[in-house]
Amino acid sequence: MEVFSQKQLGNKTGGPQNMKLLYSLEYLKRDFETLSFLKIEEDAVFLSEGYGHNGRAETIRLVAQKDS
């Protein structure tokens, strides 16, 4: 999954401008603690997805799997 990080607040490159609708690594790790993380990282990406979603954006990318 890819979500906007709390660090995105104030950027005008997409995502909500409400802290309650943004995510942190800690929140995602806690919320998905029953899964095994294959990848979880917070990074800046450059969006080019049309009006309102252009430029540097702070995101978190998470790939996880359920243990068998």
Fold assignment, 2-66:
Rossmann fold (3.40.50)
The helix or strand, by DSSP H or E, that contains position 3, with its residue range, turns out to be: strand 2-4
**Mean of the pLDDT values across residues 23-49?**
96
Sort 5 into a burial class: Cβ within 10 Å, 0-12 / 13-18 / 19+: buried
Q: What is the pLDDT of residue 3?
A: 97
- 6-21 pLDDT, tens digit per residue, is 999 999 999 999 999 9
| Residue 68 pLDDT > 80 | no
CA 27 → CA 20, 47, 49, 58, 67, distances in Å? 11, 24, 26, 16, 20
Q: What is the pLDDT of residue 4?
A: 97
Domain-wise residue ranges, the chain: 2-66
